[in-house]
Structure formats: structure tokens, C-alpha cells
Amino acid sequence: MKKFSLNNVQLKNKLLITYFLSVFIPILLTNIIFYHVTINNVKKQKMHDLTLAFEQVENEFINTVDEAIGVSTTIYTDNIIHGFLEKEYESVIEYITDYESIFRNFNKYSPVYSSIKEITFYTDNQSMLFAGGIHKITEDVKTNALHQEFMLLEQSHPVLRRNESTDIFSVIRKLDYFQNNTREKFVKIDLNTDMIKQAFNNVTFQGHIYLVGAEDQIEYSTGTVKNDEQLNFSKLSDIPQESITFEKEFELNYLNNWKLVGVVSENAILEEVQNSGNFILYLAALNFFIPSFVIIWISSSLHSRILRILRHMKRMRNQNFALIDGIEYKDEIGQLTSEFNRMAKKINDLINDVYIANLQKKDLELKRKQAQLNALQSQINPHFLFNSLETIRMRSLLKNEVETAKIIQNMAKLLRNSISSGKDWVKIQEELKIITSFLEIQQYRFGEKLQYEIDVDPACKELDIPYMSLIPFVENASIHGIEPKRGNGFIHIQLKKVEDGVMFTITDDGVGMNDRKLNKLVQSTHNEDDMGENIGVKNVYYRLKLLYGDDFDFEINSIIDKGTEVRIFFPSK
């Protein structure tokens, strides 16, 4: 059995082994551990936040009730109120006088404590008027279970109860602090319902909160609960299995056996965990794909380049000495490629020198003769074109089509000048003849739409300028300036002798160019590698640059919907 060696494993498989052992498996294990640790931390933090929110609800509710308890204690120990409720009144005026005197100061409690809605006194003193917060203890009140409960208390303390008909919480306290009690009396302090709601509606607790009485009667709930619903929270079966509960039993005597229960759906916790889990998964994917991409990219570069060298080496068996194309890189594989190319070229040169040199020489001679033949065949005299145009012109004259004959003659002149002339310089007056022929052809085409004027300084007619250097600007003014314009157009051409040269100016009142198009045209004249559009203008500019260097001036001005002006200064030859 052969001993295993990495040297016998293909390079592609080696790279895959390196990838899985160094990237894939470590990143996968790390992300799994990180995912579980983070999810557990998120759950713990969420439960901690819910616990704090639940405790905040408890504290706010107790604070709301404590305000009423404090007021009840003040009333409980108030000797003036005690005397007022115990006194036997001889007349209504006497009662009203005492009532106004006492309750003028007593009413100060309501605006100070926002949790108190109303304070009501109950008494069996028949000499009092039962109005304005003073109520009579009737037989219905006496037979009430709550009344019987707190009247039997050995030590008086406040009791919190909810009126099911009005859904109002009240603090009720028997007023028996003083020893000289001759009458039965107690005070009922109604709590502000809005303050109760404010205490329970804690936006940070994502669930429902239940205030449960001594007999597991739900006294208040932020969720939807029927009035007669009984919940025994000591049994887990009464709580939905998919819920998480928080329970706190009050340790206050006036809330004896009362408790606060919070119920949160597991979906709320799972949603928070899911959001964190999704983030971790996205981060894990990012941590996985970026290193994987880098490893695959680098491995692909190594593998593909080595395979390319191997393919070329195998082709050499069939005497195919083609070089490896591409950039010669500086790493080891690049150096190996360069050495292979040098070797293949050397071998190929030796073979060519010995076996193929003569055949190549004969082939080149044959191609040279074929090129000479093609050149001779292409030298066809273009005069047959001029003769054909002359025949058409004469035929038009015989038919009295003088205008058509004139246009054909102008066309023949333009064709003859563009084909037969081999000179670089021409007199200005000869250049003007070409311009005139072109403008007459354009007038024949556009009719009255095109009008032109040529203003030539006689002193410059015999001066030389580069051949066909003006006609491209005349053509642009006609085709790109006047033709798209609505209505008639006018072209003005001026050649004026100035110091050290000639100034050529051509102006049209055509459609003009916007700044972007004008700047693009001007910039393109400085880019010799890109002919692109406006090849005639660029051609003239390059010729002037070659002939004059930096001694000539070239300027283009244009306003949209106003027209274009081109100015060229030709230095004296």
C-alpha cells in the first residue's frame, strides 16, 4: 500500500482542503457558538427589561394608592372632622356654618393629589344634611359585604376596593381613631381612573397586566377580560402555555392577598430574539462569504494560470510553440510563464531558421506581387466621372434647364477639386470659387431659405492659405446652422487682410449651440485620438496645427437660437 502524500494530490484538491480546514469549518463553528451565546444574552436582557418594566408598574400603582391612603390617614386623625361628624346639630344654619368652615380647608386635598377624584363621608348622624360629600349610612350600605367586613376589623386600616358597577377604585376607612365615638362613620376616597390607567399602561412592558383581588378576581386588566372571569394563577393550566408570567403579591395591609400579574406572549420575546438572530446570520454570512470570495479568487488565479502553462507545454508535443498571451506578472507563476515563453520562442526561432525560412521568403514574394497587382487595378482614372457629369450638364442645357446645368457644373468643380488636387496651398480666390459653388448648390436645395454674402478684401485674394481649409466651416453653417432653423437663414463670410496675416470670419444666424455642446466641440479639437463627430472641423484644426504650429488662432462662439461665429487667423506664409 502506497504511503499517502500531498504531493500526489492535484492542486485543485489541495486548495479545496485548505479552504475547508482553514476557512469554512472554523468560521462555521465560530458563528454557531456566537449565535447561541448572543441569543441567550438577548433572552436574558429581554427578561430583565420586562422585569424592570413590571416593577415600575407596581411602584406607580402603589404610589397612586398611597396618596389616597395618606389623605385617609390625615382625615382619620383629624379632630376637627371627628367633631364635625359627631356633633348633634340644633338647626340647619348651625350645620351649614360648620360645614362651610371645615370643608373650605378640606377641599384643598383634591387639587393637590392628582390621584384623588372624590372624597365622600358616610355617617349615621341624623342631624346632618346629606349632601355635598356627606352621605347617610343606609340599610343598603349596612348590609353591603364590604361594609360588614371593615366594620368587623379590630384595628382600623384602609381597604382598597373596586366598584364593579362604576369600575372605580376606592380607599375606604372606618373613622374610629378617637375614644369618644358615639356614631358610626367612615370615609370613601375614589381614585382617579386616568391615573390608574397611566400606571398600568407602561409602554415598555410588551404584554398585559392584571390586578388580581383577594379571591383571584381580576379587578383591573390592560387586556380584554370578562367581568366575571376567575383566574387561579396558582394553576399553570389557567395560563396559556405560550405565555410568560410575572407575579408580585403586595405586602401592604390594605392590599392584603392582592397581587399583580404580568402576562407576555412568548412571540414578543421570540420576535426580539429572531431580530437579533437574523442580524447574527447576516453577519455570519458576511464573515463567511468575504473570506471565501478572497480565497476562491486567489486560488482561481493560481490554479488557472498553472493549468494554462501545463496546456501549452502539452501542445509542444505536436510542435505547437504558441506563446502564452497576457500580462507578464511578477510573482513566481508569472516568472515561470516568462521563462516558458522565452524557451518556446527560442525553440520556434531555431526551427524557423532551419526549416521554414525559405518557404516564408517565397510566400512574402508572392504576397508582394499580389499587392502590386491590386495597386495597379485601383488606379482607375476618375475622369470618366467628370465626363459623365458634363454629359448630364449638356443634356440639361439642351432642355433649357439652365439652373440644373449650373448646379451640375458646380458639383463637377467640387468633385474635381476634391480628387485631382494634390497641393497643400491654394490662393484665397480659388478657395472662394469652391465655397461659391457649394453655396449655390445649397441655395438650389433650400431655395430662398438660404441667403449668403461674401465680403473679401481685395488685398488678400492672391494670398495663400491651406487647401480646403474654409469649406468645412461653410458646410457646418449651412447644414447644422441654417437647415434645422425655422424660417430663412443668412451666412456672412468675411476675409480681411490684417497685420501679419488674414482673418477669416464666418457668421450664421442659425440654431446655434448650447454651452455643453460648444465645450465638447472645442475640447474634441484638442484630442487627436478621437475623431468622432465634426470630423471636418477637427481635420482642418489638425492641418493648421501641423502647418502653422502655435502661430494661428482658432475661435468658436455660439449662442443657442442666435447663431454661431467662427474666427480663424492665418499667419502670412
According to DSSP, residue 217 is labeled: B
Q: What is the spatial distance between Cα 544 and Cα 526, in angstroms, rounded to a whole number?
A: 12
* Burial state string for 467-490 with b = 16 or more CB within 10 A and e = fewer than 16: bbbbbbbbbbbbebbbbebeeebb
Please give the Cα distance from 16 to 302 (Å, whole number): 13
CA gap 450, 493 in Å, rounded? 14
Residues 6+ apart with CB under 8 A from 17: 9
**CB atoms < 10 A from the CB of 39, how many?**
15
How long a stretch of residues is the chain? 573
Element (H, E) at 7: none
Instruction: Give the per-residue pLDDT at 230.
Output: 45
- Ranges under pLDDT 70 in the chain: 1-7, 105-112, 143-156, 164-165, 202-203, 223-242, 268, 270, 272, 328, 354-357, 359-361, 363-406, 409-423, 528-533
Q: At what angle do helices 402-420 and 428-446 cross, to 10 degrees?
A: 140
According to the model, what pLDDT value does residue 365 have?
64
The gap between the terminal CA atoms of the chain, to the nearest Å, is: 94
CA separation for the pair 288, 372 (Å, rounded): 66
* Cβ atoms within 10 Å, residue 287: 14
Question: What span, in angstroms and rounded, lies between the C-alpha atoms of 345 and 199?
Answer: 91
Using one digit for the tens of pLDDT, what is the confidence trace for 518-566? 888 888 887 765 555 677 788 888 888 888 888 899 999 999 999 999 9
pLDDT of residue 406: 67
72: cell is 385617609
Whether 116 and 110 have beta carbons less than 8 Å apart is answered as yes
Q: Judge contact between 559 and 518, C-beta under 8 A.
A: no
Is the Cα dihedral 395, 399, 404, 405 positive or negative?
positive
Least Cα distance to 15 among 294, 348, 391 occurs for 294
Query: Residue 509: what are its φ and ψ, rounded to 5°?
Result: -110, 40
pTM (whole model) above 0.95 = no
Which contacts of 19-26 are long-range, i.e. CB under 8 A and separated by 24 or more positions? 19/292, 19/295, 19/296, 19/299, 22/295, 23/291, 23/292, 23/295, 24/288, 24/292
185, 123 Cβ separation under 8 angstroms? yes
Amino acid at 521: L
d(CA 441, CA 407): 6
Q: How far is CA 23 from CA 9, 15, 33, 285, in A?
A: 20, 11, 16, 13
Please enumerate in sequence order all residues whose Cβ is within 8 A of that of 225, keeping only pairs 6 or more positions apart, or say none.
210, 218
User: In which residue are the cell numbers 378617637 written?
Assistant: 178
* Helix intervals (H) in 160-242: 193-200
CATH node for 448-571: 3.30.565.10
Q: Do the beta carbons of residue 430 and residue 396 sit within 8 Å?
A: no
The angle that helices 402-420 and 383-398 make with each other, rounded to 10 degrees, is 170
d(CA 62, CA 60): 6
Do 452 and 439 meet the contact criterion of CB atoms below 8 Å apart? yes
Backbone angles phi, psi at 468, to 5 degrees: 55, 40
The Cα 474–Cα 566 span in angstroms is: 10
Asked if 440 and 418 touch (Cβ cutoff 8 Å), the reply is: no
Contacts within 8 Å (CB) and 24+ apart, 227-231: 227/164, 231/261
Residue with cell 349610612: 137
Q: For helices 266-315 and 25-76, what crossing angle results, to 10°?
A: 160
Q: Quick one: how far is CA 55 from the chain centroid?
A: 42
What's the number of CA atoms in the CB half-sphere (13 Å) around residue 92? 3
**Non-local CB neighbours of 189 within 8 Å, separated by 6+ positions:** 68, 71, 72, 116, 118, 119, 120, 170, 171, 172, 173
User: Which grid coordinates are listed for 525?
Assistant: 479639437
Measured CA distances, 45 to 41, 202, 206, 570 (Å): 6, 18, 14, 86
CA distance 87 to 183: 9
What's the rounded Cα separation, in Å, for the pair 327 and 311? 18
User: Exposure string (b/e) for 248-273, b if CB count within 10 Å is 16 or more?
Assistant: eebeeebbeebbbbbbbeeebbeebb
Residue type at 523 in one-letter notation: Q
With 0-12 CB in 10 A as exposed, 13-18 as middle and 19+ as buried, what is 408? buried
